[in-house]
Amino acid sequence: MIVPLSALGPGEKGIVVNIAGGHYARQRLVSMGLSPGAMVQVIESHSMGPIIFSVGGSRFAIGRGLASKVMVRKL
């Protein structure tokens, strides 16, 4: 099932399939390891704040707007 990253709950994992959104944000995400094929695990996702996730051994927080543009295959 392919869903936006923002739809994953805490503890859920997914494989990045595609990233929509502007060139700038996309480059940022990619250089941080969030590129197609990467496995992400959501650590905290709360409707009131940014989404915390880990990818490739590092943890990041991104805004919900951006997270909804990252498409993942839910595992």
* DSSP-assigned beta bridge partners for residue 51: 62
CA distance 42 to 14: 9
Q: Is 59 in the site for other proteins (CB under 8 A)?
A: yes
CA dihedral 20, 23, 25, 26 (to 10 degrees): 60
# residues contacting other proteins (CB under 8 A): 39
- Smallest gap from Cβ 34 to other proteins, in A, equals 9
Give me the least distance between CB of 42 and other proteins, in Å please.
11
List interacting residues with other proteins (CB under 8 A). Answer: 10, 18-19, 21-33, 35-38, 43-44, 46, 48-50, 52, 54-63, 65-66
